[in-house]
Amino acid sequence: MPIYEYRCLSCGKKSTIIILSVKSDLEVKCKFCGSKELQKLVSRVAIRLSEESRLEKLSDPSFLSGIDQNDPRSLAKWMKKFGKEFGEELEPDFEDSIEEALEEEMKGKDENEENE
């Protein structure tokens, strides 16, 4: 089922329109101001992967490339990437939790360096 996005040339707002049948004559107009002066936008494509496909992707060694297990920033970056792969199952504040943990780790490192 195609979903198209348009930018209204009158009010500047973006409208999303779902096309149920490609054969139907669709009169496209802005959902906000009713203008017919719209510019079609290039949208991102979303592909839904099964859990098995996502796990296979995560087991690929290239997914783990660039991780330095001794660098908290590197691990945080990887956790965010991991979180995006499983965004549906993870809590909405997952990335915030990662940032908090990173800040705590960096704070602890700074305190250890001061005490040395």
* Tokens (6 digits) for 42: 């290039």
Answer for the pair 7, 18: CB distance below 8 angstroms, yes or no.
Answer: no
Mean of the pLDDT values across residues 76-105? 71
* Range ranked top by mean pLDDT from 14-23, 28-37, 44-53: 28-37
**DSSP-derived pairing of the beta strands 14-18 and 3-8:** antiparallel
63, pLDDT greater than 90: no
**Chain-wide mean pLDDT for the chain?**
77
10 Å Cβ neighbour count for 30?
A: 20
Residue 63 dihedral angles phi and psi, to the nearest 5°: -65, -25
**Rounded-to-integer distance, Cα 37 and Cα 93, Å:** 39
Could you tell me which residue, 114 or 71, shows the higher pLDDT? Answer: 71
Residue 113's pLDDT is 66
**Rounded-to-integer distance, Cα 105 and Cα 66, Å:** 20
Mean of the pLDDT values across residues 52-56? 79
Q: Count the helices and strands in the chain (H runs, E runs).
A: 3, 3
User: How much of the chain is helix, strand and coil, in % rounded to 5?
Assistant: 40, 10, 45
Residue 33's pLDDT is 95
Helix or strand run (H / E) with residue 110: helix 94-115
